[in-house]
Structure 1
C-alpha cells in the first residue's frame, strides 16, 4: 500500500473530488466530516491502496493507539500468562480493542513497591489500562483510579472502594456452589482458595453463608495457591492432615483441577466420595476426568463490558461498575 504522504493525499483528494484537508480529516476519523463522506473516502483509500500513517496521526492527536492490559500478581508471583482464566479473558479483550482500532500492550507485573501502577499510567505508552484482577493490590489500584479515569478492573466490587470494576457476583457464586453440594446431602465441606484475593474472599463469604444457613458452621478452609503444582501439593497435604470431606468448592477451575488430580492420586473417588465444584468455566473444564462442575463467569461479555466502560471514560463520560450473575454449570464432578 502507498503511504498517505502529501502527494498521495492530493491524488486521493482529486479522485474523491474534495479538498486535501477533507481527505486528511476523513482518514483521521474526524467528527468534523460527515459520516457518509468519511466512509466514501475510506472506501476510496482502500480501493486505491492508500493507508494512513497511524503513528503520525496518533502523535498529532496526542494519543498512543494502545491500551495496556495488565496482570498484577502480588499474591501469586509464580502465576503465568498461560493460566487458563487469563487466556480466556485476554483473547476477547484483544478482539474488542482491535475492533476499535487499538493495539493491546500486555504486561505481567510482580509488584515490588506501591508505585508500579503509577509508572504504567504515567509512562506515555498507553491511552488507558485494563487490569485483570486486583490481587493483593486493591489499595494501590484505588489510589491510582482516583486520579486516572481510563482504568477498568476485572475484579470484585468491594465496599468502600470506588474503582471501576467488571466481574461476577462472587458472593452469590460461592453460595450457589455450596448450596448445590448441600442439596446432594454433602455435609462436610471445604473451600480451597486464598481469601486475601478480593474475588476469592467474596466467594468464600458466600460459601460460609450457605453453610451457616444450613447450621453447619463455616466449613474448612485451605488457602490454596492458583498455580497447578503448588495447589496440588497443598491439597495432598490437606487430605492427609484433616478429617475426610465430602464436598469441595474451589475458588478457581485451576484449583479444582488440581483437586481432582490430588483426590485421584489419594484413591478418593469423584464424585462418589467427594464432589468438586470449580469457578470460572474455563475451556478445559469440560475436558477433565470427570468433567468439572463449575460456576460460570461470562468472560466474553465481561471483556466487552470492560472495553465499553474504558472508552466511555476516554470520552469523558460517566461509567458505573458492572456485576454479572454467575451460573452453575452441572457436569459429572458434582
Structure 2
C-alpha cells in the first residue's frame, strides 16, 4: 500500500470538516474545491483527484442542496453604470473606474465574472429578465442618478441588488455610500470660515446623492448671515458639458460667485477651466470644493479642496453586501466616513 502524503492531516473525528479544511489540506483555493465538487471541466485531472482524495479521507460530506444552487447560478454579477447622466453615454470620470477596479478585484477573488452594463437595464423588466434567464446572479448599480424610483421597484421584485449612492432607510434596497448631507455641510462651513457670501452649487438635484449635498450646503448657509446660493443645474455630467455650461453662466451673470461647490472633482476641474477663461481665478476670487477626492485632484493646479469618500473599500464592500444577499441574508446599508480634504482652492 502506498504511503500517505505527509502533508495530509486528518481532522479530529469530533470535528465536522468544511470546504475550507479540504482546500487547506489539498493546498488549493476554496473556489477550486467548489469547481471539483460541482464537476467543472475547468480543473485539471490531477487537481481533481487530489481534492477528491482529501475530501474522502476527511469525511467531507457534500451538501447536495448547496451544490444544486451553485450549479443554477450564472457565476456572473452585472455592474450597471449611469450612462443616462453622461452625454452620449460617455463616462470618463476616474471615480467610476476606481469603484470598478475595487469591484472587479473582489469578484475575481470569489471566481465570479463581471458583466458590465448590459443593455436593456432601464426598466424593471430588464433587470427581472436578465436575472431569471440566469444571465446574472445579481446587480451592483453604480450611481442612482435619477433612477431611484426604478431601483425601488426592482428591489420590490426581490432581485439581488446593491447600489452605490445615497443611503436611505426608505429606499427598500441595500446601498453603500458617503454621508452626502454631511459632505455638503462641511463645504458650506468652509465657505463661511473664509467669509464667502455668494455661493454657486453645480449639480443636478434630481440625483439623490447630489440633492443631499445641496441640502447639507443649505444647512450650513442657514448658520451664517446674508448667504446667497445660486444653482447651476447641469444637463450632463460629462466634462465638456459642465465646462460649457459653467462658461456660459459666468459670461451671463451680473454678480460673480465667491464660492463654488461642485458635484465631483471632475466637474470642479471643468469649472476652474471655464472660469479661468473669463479671468475669474481660484483661490484669488473664489473658494472651490469638489467631491470624491480622485487622485488627480491633489495634483491639479491649483490642487482641489474636496470631500473625500473611502473609495478604496467601497468596491469590496459592495460585493460583500451582494454576496450576503445571494446567500439569503438581508444586509444593511453602509455609510462610509466622509471628510473634507483642504488644499489650495
User: What is the TM-score with the length of structure 2 in the denominator?
Assistant: 0.80
Structure 1 residues 82 and 233: alpha-carbon distance in aligned structure 2, compared to 1, 3 A threshold: closer
Q: Which secondary structure does the structure 2 equivalent of 1:129 belong to?
A: strand
> Are the counterparts in 2 of residues 67 and 103 from structure 1 also a CA contact under 8 Å?
yes
Structure 2: gaps spanning 5 or more residues: 6-15, 44-66
Structure 1 residues 296 and 159: alpha-carbon distance in aligned structure 2, compared to 1, 3 A threshold: same
RMSD across aligned C-alpha pairs, in angstroms?
Answer: 2.8
Structure 1: gaps spanning 5 or more residues: 1-13, 18-30
Match of 1:232 in 2: 243
Greater alpha carbon shift after TM alignment, 276-285 vs 121-130: 121-130
Instruction: Report the alpha carbon displacement of residue 121 of structure 1 after superposing the two structures with TM.
Output: 2.9
> Are the counterparts in 1 of residues 199 and 258 from structure 2 also a CA contact under 8 Å?
yes
The size of the alignment, in residue pairs, is 303
Residue in structure 2 matching 1:296, options 297, 308, 318: 308
Per-residue deviation, residues 153-204 of structure 1 (Å, max 9, x unmatched): 0010246321110000100001101111110111111100110110000001
Instruction: Report the alpha carbon displacement of residue 130 of structure 1 after superposing the two structures with TM.
Output: 0.5
Residue in structure 2 matching 1:41, options 16, 19, 26: 26
Could you tell me how far apart the structure 2 residues matched to 1:214 and 1:328 are?
19
Residue in structure 2 matching 1:257, options 269, 285, 293: 269
Instruction: Report the alpha carbon displacement of residue 32 of structure 1 after superposing the two structures with TM.
Output: 6.9
Match of 1:186 in 2: 196
> Are the counterparts in 1 of residues 202 and 231 from structure 2 also a CA contact under 8 Å?
yes
Alignment of 1:108-119 (within 5 A): 113=123, 115-119=125-129
Residue in structure 1 matching 2:83, options 73, 76, 96: 73
Match of 2:206 in 1: 196
> Are the counterparts in 2 of residues 278 and 293 from structure 1 also a CA contact under 8 Å?
yes
Structure 1 residues 115 and 278: alpha-carbon distance in aligned structure 2, compared to 1, 3 A threshold: same
Greater alpha carbon shift after TM alignment, 300-309 vs 114-123: 114-123
Structure 1 residues 96 and 178: alpha-carbon distance in aligned structure 2, compared to 1, 3 A threshold: same
Instruction: Report the alpha carbon displacement of residue 119 of structure 1 after superposing the two structures with TM.
Output: 3.5
Alignment of 1:1-334 (within 5 A): 33=18, 35-43=20-28, 52-54=40-42, 61-107=71-117, 113=123, 115-158=125-168, 160-217=170-227, 219-224=229-234, 225-242=236-253, 243-333=255-345
> Are the counterparts in 1 of residues 87 and 241 from structure 2 also a CA contact under 8 Å?
no
Match of 1:5 in 2: none
Match of 1:20 in 2: none
Could you tell me how far apart the structure 2 residues matched to 1:114 and 1:36 are?
42
Q: Which secondary structure does the structure 2 equivalent of 1:78 belong to?
A: helix
